[in-house]
Structure 1
Amino acid sequence: MLKINTDNLKKSHQLIWFAIDFLMLGLLIINLAFIIFDSVYGFEIVQNGLSAISPAINEFYRPIHNNFIVYDLAFVAVFLTEFIVRWGYAVKAKVYARWYFYPFIHWYDIIGCIPVGSFRFLRILRVISIIYRLHQYKVIDVTQTKIFQFFNFYYEAFLEELSDRIVIKVLSGAQDEIRRGSPLFDRIQNDILYPRRAMLTDWLSLRVAEAAREGYVPNRGALRSYLETRVDNALKQNLELSRLKYLPVVGPTIQETLEECVGDIVAHVIHQILEDLALSSNHAFIEDIVNVFLPEPDGSEEHVQNEALINLLTEILEAVKAQVKVKHWRENLP
């Protein structure tokens, strides 16, 4: 059941307009119920049944049915009056850029006021618009109603089923393209990536330098200590180096000196590499790496299909399809 949030109603400073909304909502529900009953009453079998059950009610309603348009025009007059008042307020408050935008934006209010045939039932759009406006201002919360939850559940289930079928269809098409040896990968490499090789080199160079500055430079002391410890442990486990300590007099000294030298050399080399990467001079190094991965296309080379890569891609897509087939909406079923 809908609950009215009186706190948000007061905070909105539009109490009068919301009161009009609730009034119009009540009139629209009464009017739609009146229209539905009159439409059903138009069948002769209904008139005969009502006459048999309660002749007084049948006799009372027959003149109303014959002059239904008159009674409906009374509702239409109220609806049009409210529409004109809101239009005037929108013009005064400059809600829209032009004064004549309001009737175009609220076209369903005008069409619903046409007292002819099926146009009357379009007044349900006005009911929806009022409920949406009240929900938007958090005066009411339609998401907590059982009707909304019921329709939303099946709406989400329908969307999931539809989107799953579309995704599976697209992935199956991608698998077929890969199996047939689609030139997509060659086009990506030769037509998209290769012409932008210089841009990729600049971008990677900046990213690597930034990563080296922010990641290594503040922590180089800790990294050096870690490297020296790991090298020292590795050297102590080396059988050939451990035999040096058996040399008379100088053996232990030589072993200790070698351990310190090797540790210092490794730490210094790593330090120098990361220092170079943190500078703009890394551009040439990054360019060489990019050139290895994006060599200049040679038109004379034949396209060689890599069966292992094709199988890998198709298996990945198959796993994605299997996951897409999982029906999450069924988990919410009672």
Structure 2
Amino acid sequence: MLRINRENLKSSHQLIWFIVDFLMLGLLIINLAFIIWDSIYNFVAVQDLLKQYAPGLQSLYHPIHDRFIFYDMIFVSIFLSEFFLRWGYAVKAKVYDRWYFYPFIHWYDLVGCIPVGSLRFLRILRVISIIYRLHQYKIIDVTNTKLYRFVNFYYEAFMEELSDRIVLKVLSGVQQEVKRGSPLFDKIQQDILYPRRDMLTDWISSRVAEAAQEGYVPNRGALRSYLEDRVDSALKQNLELSRLKFLPVVGPTIQETLEEAVGDIVANVIHQILEDLASASNHAFIEDIVNVFLPSPDQVESDETENEALINLIVEIIDAVKAQVRVKYWREDLP
């Protein structure tokens, strides 16, 4: 049920224009009903049917049908008067940057006033514009109506079906390009990534240093204790090392010394690696890694096996995406 929010209507600074909107909305509905009825009456079969079963109605309406243009022009004159009134207000209030913008923006109001054939039905656009304006200013709420929910449901279903077909068509085209050995990947590597190799190296280096500083430096002591415990546990499980304790006199001492030394060495190595990663000295290391993944074009050697595996991987990924796109979510809302 469409309800009018009277509080917003009263508090609005455009109360007069909203009243005009409601009047125009009523006249448009009456006019459209009149046009539809006259279009139906225009059929000879309908006239004969009325002559047979409702001669009074037929004799009453037939003179109106003969002068339909005259009666329609009465509505047109009212609509044009309201149009020029709003145009004048828009010019006075400087709603638009230029005075002549209004008729171009509200072209459907003018075209709908042309009393020729099917152009009359464009007046429905004016009905929609008025309802939209009232809804925008929260005078009415069309989203609570059954008609809106019905139309919106099938509109969303239509758009989902349409977009799914377009996406599937595009993805199928991408698959065909990949299967044909499209040079896209080589272009991305050689023309986009490789010329920006230094920039990528600097960015990755700074990100690694930042991550190491924030993650490792504050937890340095805890990480060292954890590594020493893990190394100590691993050494105690080592069969060869455990045999040292059977050596007379010095066996346990040697075993304990080795455990401490290995644990300290591992902790220091990990500590030094993370210290280097957290500093600017990681740049050369990161650069070597980037050079491995992004070699210069003259160093690239084509490997058909790897390329075929990559193509199959991409095709399978696109197949998975297509399978997900085929899911019809609008059907879940069906009663």
TM-score of the aligned structures, taking structure 1 as reference length: 0.90
In structure 1, what is the Cα distance between the partners aligned to 2:280 and 2:157?
Answer: 54
Tell whether 2:188 aligns with 1:167: no
- 1:320 match: 321
5 Å-filtered alignment, 1:42-81, equals 42-81=42-81
In structure 2, what is the Cα distance between the partners aligned to 1:264 and 1:136?
Answer: 71
- 2:219 match: 219
In structure 2, what is the Cα distance between the partners aligned to 1:142 and 1:37?
Answer: 27
Tell whether 2:330 aligns with 1:329: yes
Deviation digits for residues 63-117 of structure 1, max 9, x if unmatched? 2222222222222222122222222222232221112111110111111122222
In structure 1, what is the Cα distance between the partners aligned to 2:10 and 2:82?
Answer: 22
In structure 1, what is the Cα distance between the partners aligned to 2:101 and 2:269?
Answer: 72
Shift of 1:249: 4.3
- 1:297 match: 297
Aligned partner letter, 1:190: Q
Q: Verify the 8 A CA contact 1:181 1:305 in the aligned structure 2.
A: no
5 Å-filtered alignment, 1:1-334, equals 1-10=1-10, 12-298=12-298, 301-302=301-302, 304-306=304-306, 307-334=308-335
In structure 2, what is the Cα distance between the partners aligned to 1:236 and 1:109?
Answer: 90
Aligned partner letter, 2:320: A
Change (3 A) 1:288 1:131: same
In structure 2, what is the Cα distance between the partners aligned to 1:194 and 1:225?
Answer: 42
In structure 2, what is the Cα distance between the partners aligned to 1:139 and 1:166?
Answer: 38
Shift of 1:60: 2.0
Shift of 1:8: 4.1
In structure 2, what is the Cα distance between the partners aligned to 1:151 and 1:212?
Answer: 56
In structure 2, what is the Cα distance between the partners aligned to 1:229 and 1:93?
Answer: 79
Shift of 1:303: 5.7
Change (3 A) 1:279 1:56: same
Question: Is 282-291 or 242-251 further displaced after alignment?
Answer: 242-251
Shift of 1:125: 0.4
Question: Alignment partner of 2:297: what SS?
Answer: coil
Aligned partner letter, 1:69: I
Question: Alignment partner of 2:327: what SS?
Answer: coil
In structure 2, what is the Cα distance between the partners aligned to 1:128 and 1:154?
Answer: 18
Change (3 A) 1:135 1:248: farther
RMSD, aligned α-carbons: 2.4
Change (3 A) 1:257 1:8: farther
In structure 2, what is the Cα distance between the partners aligned to 1:84 and 1:222?
Answer: 80
Uncovered stretches (5+) of structure 2, i.e. residues with no partner: none
Change (3 A) 1:119 1:202: same
Aligned partner letter, 2:184: L
In structure 1, what is the Cα distance between the partners aligned to 2:180 and 2:116?
Answer: 60
Change (3 A) 1:300 1:248: closer
Q: Verify the 8 A CA contact 1:164 1:325 in the aligned structure 2.
A: yes
Question: Alignment partner of 2:241: what SS?
Answer: helix
Change (3 A) 1:142 1:187: same
Question: Alignment partner of 1:298: what SS?
Answer: helix
Aligned partner letter, 2:120: R
Q: Verify the 8 A CA contact 1:4 1:139 in the aligned structure 2.
A: yes
Aligned partner letter, 1:324: V
Task: Report % sequence identity.
Answer: 77
Shift of 1:36: 0.9
